[in-house]
Structures are given as structure tokens and as C-alpha cells.
Amino acid sequence: MVNVAGRSRGCANCRRRKVKCDETFPQCEKCTSRGLQCPGPRTGAFFVHVQSGEASSQETLTSTPADTRTNSPVPGSIQTRNAFVHMPHMSDMRSCRATAFDQLFVSHFVESFGQLNGVRFPVSVNANWLAWLPQYITSPGNALTKTSIRSASMLSYGTWTRDKSIQTEAYKWYARALMGLQGALSQPTLTATESNVCSAVMLIHFETWAGTVEGAWINHINGASTLLEAAGPQTCREGFMHRIFCHLRFQSFIATMYESKLPGFASPEWTSIPFEIHPANIFDQIVTILFDVQSSSAIANNFIHANDHANRIQLESALRTSVRNTRQKLINWEQQLMPPPSAEDAGDNSADTSSTSSSASSPAQPPPRNDAPPSFPFSSMPEAALLSLYHSAYIIVYRLLALTGDGGAGDADRLLMHTQEILRAYKFVRKVTDKGPTSNLGPVMMVPQLKIASLWGSEESDRVMATGFLKRIGQRQSFALGSIWDLPDGYFANVACHVLALDARR
């Protein structure tokens, strides 16, 4: 029975057609299934939640008064800090409220990533896949993409505002997106379209927040990775596919470390071909190094379990080569991006550098041991997370160097420094993270690094501290990554235990 006219909360289309509207927010299912532009159900007053100047987004508004002759801000003018969300134009609100809501949710979702604001290193914008989301959510067609973007962005906004009704609607859109993606992938020929890949990635982010089923986020990461691998690295050289690939490869690293496996993206063709047009930025470079760390860890796992003597010798040689190459990449990354050491530090390391430079061309010699920079003061949460990934890679490299007998006299001090830098980065991130329902978003960025420190770190006290930080994150939020703290295996834990046992016997 149709509700009494004037009292129905249904959308205008359903009221005009005199059918019962399911009142799904922001667009009803009856309209979307018929391909109609649904204006959305009646919501009454809707309060848009914005965040003041203490928000993580610190950019200034473009509406700041400017001198028309120089196009520069007028001296003494007030530069208002950017709100956490951008409201759409009023004309959009009058034409379709659903469009305005979608823009609200998507803009919040995009800005919640921080966009590497505050990172002092040069970062290319080529990997910014988020810039495409507003276009996908407003373009005609692409129903699967719209549904997936809507589910993740609504859940993000609903969680931040503690709005249970929006969260509930987000789960409904997630169910539809899941069914739509399953239908698209059930075709005889696997098609890695932009729509399918974008939908799979958005479902990753939904599950990162929601955690509906244990390990669901890993399944979505594996699914999105399979789509790109089926398309091949040539399709990820430019455009949206390149941007989404740069984002997904780090997700793939986290998921495969969770399962102590190697990702397909770690192969030489996947670490080179996608960057032929747009060179890898500093984040892309550190992810490639992390893939190399995974490869070395996998070789080490085979080495410690090998029974045949000849096989052990072959694996030990492969491990030594892999670890040294990875270490040299870390040194190159550091020399390009980290601040140069002071004259005093350079004097302390001069003898070490000169002794190794003459033999650098010999593959039998370890690379120079000049990788102990002073503590780097963090300027932002993304920068702290980025640098802690660098320290995480070094921790495993030093442990594996000891496994092959290539450890040096100063490695224990360097290992201690890298471990404590991760702990320092976490404390910084926790301190600067915004208060509110998403206050654990920052610490979650530190979960993989803390897990590595808890397993591979130098001193037992530091490993215990890292484990405590992980437990704190897991107990205070419901994100999928929060379960890593009590993960019994993963992150090549068996290799870490073997190395720690060898270290204890020395």
C-alpha cells in the first residue's frame, strides 16, 4: 500500500509513479535498477559534519583574497584552513540531492587519506588514484563502480560522524557491490576493466573499516591483484590503471606479508614496466624495496628448511646476493632523500667508507656500511609512516645479513637504531593524530612496521614494546589490520625466530 501523499519519505520518482519506495539512501533501489536518476528519499534536515582548523588537511582555501595583478594573497589577509569536506555547488543540490551526498561522501573519503600533506620529499602526483573517484561517481553508467565507491565512502563518513544510519546504508550498498563484482568476475573471460579494478579496490577499503568477515580484506586485495595481473604490466603504464596499480601494490605487500608469501607484483616485469612512462616516486621505490625484502625472506625460509647440503649452499649464495642488492637499494634511497650527515658524523664514518669504496666493484664484498643516519625529525603523519617503512626494511636486512654470516661489528647498534626509530615514529603518529572516531587511522598506518619490529627488532624490550603498541591499536579500533598484533605466524615469523635463536647462541 502506498503511503499517504505528503507523508511518504520515498523519492519523488516513486511517489510520482505511486509505488512503494525502499527509501535507500542516497538513491533508492527501484530507481537505480531502472537506470533512473533518483533524487533520493526525503531526509529532512541533514547536518554536514566538517572539521575545524585542527583537521589533518591543512591546505588553505582558494577563496583567500588575492592581488589581481600578482595573483598572490593580499598581505594581512586571513587564510582560512580547509574544512574536512568540500560542499558541492548549490545547483547540484537543487538538481539531485543524491549527487550532492555522493560528492560529500567522496570528498570526505579522498581527504581522509591526507594526500601526503606535510611530506617534505618530492612525491609525484602520478600515483594519485583518488583524483578519479569524483569523476566515476558522477559519470553516467558504471553502476558497479558507483555502488562500490558509495559503499566505502559512506562507511568512512558514517564512521567519522558516528552516524549509524549512514553506516547501515553503506552496508546495503556494499552487499550490492559485492554481488555486482561477483557477477562481473563470473564471466568466462576475466576482464580487468577500470570499473572492475576500481570496484575491487573500493571494497578493500570498505573491509578495512568494517571487517565483516575475517580475512575479507585480504580476499579483496588478492582479487584486485589477480585482475591487474591478468591484464599485464603493459596496461598499468599510464592513466587510471597506473594510479590504481601504484596504490594496490602496497596493499599487496601487506596482504602477502600477512600470509608470508610473495606477491606477483614483486617480479622484475611488474617493478619496471609500469614505471616506463611515469618514473617511480619515493613511495613506489620503497615499496619495490619491500618486495625485495620479501623475496630475501622467502629465500631465507627455504634456506633454513633445506636438508640437502648442495641445496643449502645454493640457497645461501642466492640469499647473500639478494640481501646485499636490497641493502644497496636502501642506501641509494637514503642518499637521495634523507638529509646528509653532519661533518662530525661523516668524520666518524670516513674510515668505514674508504675501506669499502675500493672494493665496491667486487660482488663478494658487502656494500658500504654508511646506513646509520641521525634521527630524522618527522614533520607529518604520512612522513613518519613512510620513513618507518624504510627502517622496517633495514631491520630485516640486518637480520638476514647475520644469517648469511655477513654481519658487521656495528650492525647491532644500527639494528637498535632502526627499531627505535619505528617506535619513535609510532609515538609521533599517535600524538598528532586527530581526535575523534577515526583517531586510530594514523596508528593503523604503522601496523606493518610495528609488526616487523615486534618480530625482527633488536632488543627484547623493544620487541615487547612494539607488540604492546600493536595490541593497543587492535583493542581500540575495529579495522581489519588491528588483528595483526596477535597473528601467530605471518611476516615470516619462523625465519625471525630462527635468526633470534642464532643470535642468542652467539
Least confident stretch, 33-47, 155-169, 187-201: 33-47
Task: Say what the pLDDT of residue 485 is.
Answer: 61
Per the model's pLDDT, the better-predicted residue between 485 and 307 turns out to be: 307
Task: Say what the pLDDT of residue 459 is.
Answer: 93
Compute the half-sphere exposure of residue 345: CA atoms within 13 Å on the CB side of its CA.
Answer: 10
d(Cα 4, Cα 391) in Å, to the nearest integer? 65
pLDDT classification of 50: cutoffs 50, 70, 90: low
Nine cell digits for residue 394: 633495514
Q: If you average pLDDT over residues 460-487, what whole number do you get?
A: 78
CA distances from 140 to 39, 58, 89, 99, 137 (A): 15, 33, 19, 12, 8
CA distances from 231 to 242, 255, 275 (A): 12, 20, 16
Where exactly are the structural domains of the chain?
Answer: 10-36, 121-278, 309-338+376-504
User: Into which CATH architecture does domain 10-36 fall?
Assistant: Irregular (4.10)
d(Cα 449, Cα 395) in Å, to the nearest integer? 10
Task: Say what the pLDDT of residue 93 is.
Answer: 39
Least confident stretch, 10-19, 256-265, 437-446: 437-446
Nine cell digits for residue 480: 581489519
- Residue that the C-alpha cell 637499494 belongs to: 329
d(Cα 180, Cα 178) in Å, to the nearest integer? 5
Q: If you average pLDDT over residues 12-24, what whole number do you get?
A: 86
Q: If you average pLDDT over residues 223-234, what whole number do you get?
A: 93
User: For residue range 97-110, what is the model confidence (pLDDT) as tens digits?
Assistant: 778 888 899 988 88
Task: Say what the pLDDT of residue 368 is.
Answer: 47
SS3 content of the chain, % helix, strand, coil (to 5): 60, 0, 35
Residue 145 has pLDDT above 50, yes or no: yes
Going by the DSSP 8-state scheme, the letter that residue 66 receives in this structure is: E
Which residues partner with 73 through β-bridges?
A: 66
Residue 82 has pLDDT above 70, yes or no: no
d(Cα 454, Cα 482) in Å, to the nearest integer? 14
Q: Which helix (H) or strand (E) holds 270?
A: none
Per the model's pLDDT, the better-predicted residue between 39 and 416 turns out to be: 416
Q: What average pLDDT is seen over the chain?
A: 78
68 Cβ contact list (under 8 Å, min separation 6)? none
d(Cα 421, Cα 468) in Å, to the nearest integer? 16
∠ CA 386-392-395, nearest 5°, is 150
d(Cα 132, Cα 245) in Å, to the nearest integer? 13
Residue 117 has pLDDT above 70, yes or no: no
d(Cα 371, Cα 334) in Å, to the nearest integer? 8
Q: If you average pLDDT over residues 225-234, what whole number do you get?
A: 93
Least confident stretch, 87-96, 175-184, 209-218: 87-96
d(Cα 251, Cα 409) in Å, to the nearest integer? 36
pTM for the complete prediction? 0.78
d(Cα 157, Cα 169) in Å, to the nearest integer? 12
Residue 498 has pLDDT above 60, yes or no: yes
Task: Say what the pLDDT of residue 79 is.
Answer: 36
